Amino acid sequence: MNRFVLASLCIIAGFPTAATTQQPAPPPPNPPTHSVQGAVRVVDVRGRALEVTTGVGMALRIVRLEVPADVRVTAAGAALSLNQLVPGDIVRVSYGGKAGGYLAYTIERVGRMATGVEATP
Amino acid sequence: MTDRNRRLAAWCVALALAALSAACRRAPQPGDPLPGLSKAERARFDSGRVAFENVFTPGTGLGPLFNADGCAECHEEPVVGGAGDEIERHAAAFHATPPAGARACDELVALGGPVFQQRVTPALRAAVGIDSEPVPPEATAIAGRSSPDIFGFGLLDAVPDSEILARADPDDRDRDGISGRPNRFFDGRLGRFGRKAVVPTLREFNDGATVAEQGVTNPVVPDEGTFGGRPFPPGTDPTPEPELSREAIDLVDFFVRLLAPPAPQRLSREARQGRDAFASAGCDGCHVPVLHTGDSPIRALQHREVAAYTDLLLHDMGPELADICFANATPSEFRTEPLMGVRLMTRFLHDGRATTLEQAIELHNGEAARSRDRFRTLPAEERAALVAFLKTL
């Protein structure tokens, strides 16, 4: 067996010394978690989606989030269902990016906005 | 002269010189920094002024939508940091009985609101054929917004929430006809900046303003938003985000934060009479003469008295002035406008519709109607005295 064939076999089979030092493939990194606190603008129960108004100063923005069925929605520690959220609720949402949008991880209702009425966060 | 007497004389001379120096210390003029800055703070303030005066072009980040090409385009009279003659356009939709699944107030954020910019870059005009951001038909009101002077805003920022909330009386429990309601940002924090008191801090106001007013993104607001709710067409925003560096926006913020309010002028006899009339008419129920700052990392802002003439709360000003809703504010509710530096203004009220202080007072209604009526019934010389007093602020 000449050296060329031996080298080719080693590459195909995996060189034994390389195999002993090879580390297991690291798990895929968790997507970074972001957090937003803002006012619910739209709750789409059927489409499992939420829109939150937030922003900086006068530069307001809307964050659109997918809400998978297993996402924990709470208020003062008690569990809620998505359809118990209404526009004007102030929510704190942890979320991460996914292809084409954002995915909610947790949603906590922390207060309520109400035009013409004092709101207590 | 004995040594003891010589030392005593030296002390007296030193004391006299110190007193003379204090007396001669110039009161802050429009555009000056707050007194008591360190050398380093003063240098940073001066650098901040340069950053504030920067003029943007499309090549350096301006647009695609914008109202001004730099901060100083609108904050310029009589000096940088002062008021401007531009009137912006804000819009919102208010439904006293909200439709199902909606808040009473829709700031039209999904359609480009609430600030609808009035200028566009040549690239955006060429791409979509517009000269300004269109206000959508969903709007129930369009508001004009004048550019106020920003003198003393750092002191307003340093007033603790507790001092503002202590004056709130949303149900008018003291039966003085004045309620005073705090507004809150969308995350629930107390608001104080802007004509509807929506923005909680000066830093956020400044960070948001570069984008909302100039279309210049920064590390805190790194996206341009939309035009009318749609993404900007490719090629219309060629400058990479963020278009303003952290260092530059920090300098702008430092300059704005440390701009001193113009010192109130010495009161003449007439102005003293006017100050009494201001109080007896009940104007000081909302235009609270003095606020106090709390802790601050900047010594010049710590524990100061501010002749602010505002309570930073919302008050119902009646249907004639009503325009847009914003967060918890109804269309007729406005934050009490600070009167510090009012002598430098040439247009008054939130949209600049009044050209004299007398007109501005006459246009007060709602919770201010009682004070306006008291002003109307004052003898002419007392009305003139009240206006003379305002012109010392």
Question: Does B12 score more than 80 pLDDT?
Answer: no
Collapsing DSSP states into helix, strand and coil, what is residue B260? Answer: coil
**Please, which pLDDT band fits residue A14 given cuts at 50, 70 and 90?**
very low
Under CATH, which number does the domain A33-112 receive? 2.40.50.320
* Shortest CA distance from A38: residue in chain B: B187
Q: Residue A114's pLDDT is what?
A: 75
Using a CB–CB cutoff of 8 Å, tell me whether B216 touches chain A. Answer: no
**Average pLDDT in chain B:** 94
Using a CB–CB cutoff of 8 Å, tell me whether B110 touches chain A. Answer: yes
Question: Does A9 score more than 80 pLDDT?
Answer: no
Tell me the shortest Cα–Cα distance from A100 to chain B, in angstroms: 14
Residue B302: half-sphere exposure toward Cβ, Cα within 13 Å: 7
Question: Does A21 score more than 90 pLDDT?
Answer: no
Nearest in space to B331 (alpha carbons), one of B88, B117, B95, B86: B95
- Whether the CB-CB separation of B118 and B67 falls below 8 Å is answered with yes
Question: Does B15 score more than 90 pLDDT?
Answer: no
Q: Which residues of B touch A90 (CB under 8 A)?
A: 186-188
**Please, which pLDDT band fits residue A84 given cuts at 50, 70 and 90?**
very high
Q: Tell me how many helices (H) and strands (E) chain A has.
A: 2, 7
Token pair of A81 as six digits: 């269902």
- Are B105 and A87 a contacting pair at CB < 8 A? no
Question: Does A77 score more than 50 pLDDT?
Answer: yes
The domain limits of chain A are 33-112
Q: For B35-56, what is the mean pLDDT?
A: 98
Q: Residue B109's pLDDT is what?
A: 97
Q: In B, residues 67-96, which contact A (CB 8 Å cutoff)?
A: 94
CA separation for the pair B314, B335 (Å, rounded): 4
Q: For B109-138, what is the mean pLDDT?
A: 97
Question: Does A30 score more than 90 pLDDT?
Answer: no
**Please, which pLDDT band fits residue B98 given cuts at 50, 70 and 90?**
confident
Q: Residue A99's pLDDT is what?
A: 85
Place of tokens 């956020």: B204
Q: What is the pTM of this model?
A: 0.89
**Please, which pLDDT band fits residue A23 given cuts at 50, 70 and 90?**
low
Tell me the shortest Cα–Cα distance from B204 to chain A, in angstroms: 5
Contacts A–B by Cβ distance under 8 A: 108
Q: Residue A15's pLDDT is what?
A: 40
CA separation for the pair A13, B129 (Å, rounded): 63
The domain limits of chain B are 40-149+189-258
Question: Does A39 score more than 80 pLDDT?
Answer: yes
Q: Residue B17's pLDDT is what?
A: 57
Radius of gyration of chain B measured on its C-alpha atoms: 23
Q: For B186-202, what is the mean pLDDT?
A: 98
Q: Residue B250's pLDDT is what?
A: 98
**Please, which pLDDT band fits residue B33 given cuts at 50, 70 and 90?**
very high
- Whether the CB-CB separation of A103 and A96 falls below 8 Å is answered with yes
CA separation for the pair B132, B146 (Å, rounded): 18
Tell me the shortest Cα–Cα distance from B170 to chain A, in angstroms: 7
**Please, which pLDDT band fits residue B101 given cuts at 50, 70 and 90?**
confident
* Assembly ipTM: 0.91
Q: What is the pLDDT of residues B317-334, one digit of tens each?
A: 999 999 999 999 999 999
Question: Does A1 score more than 80 pLDDT?
Answer: no
Question: Does B387 score more than 50 pLDDT?
Answer: yes
Question: Does A7 score more than 50 pLDDT?
Answer: no
How open is the CA angle B168-B171-B173, to the nearest 5 degrees? Answer: 85
Q: What is the pLDDT of residues B271-314, one digit of tens each?
A: 999 999 999 999 999 999 999 999 999 999 999 999 999 999 99
Using a CB–CB cutoff of 8 Å, tell me whether B218 touches chain A. Answer: no
Q: For A108-113, what is the mean pLDDT?
A: 96
Q: What is the pLDDT of residues B58-90, one digit of tens each?
A: 999 999 999 999 999 999 999 999 999 999 999
- Are B204 and A62 a contacting pair at CB < 8 A? no
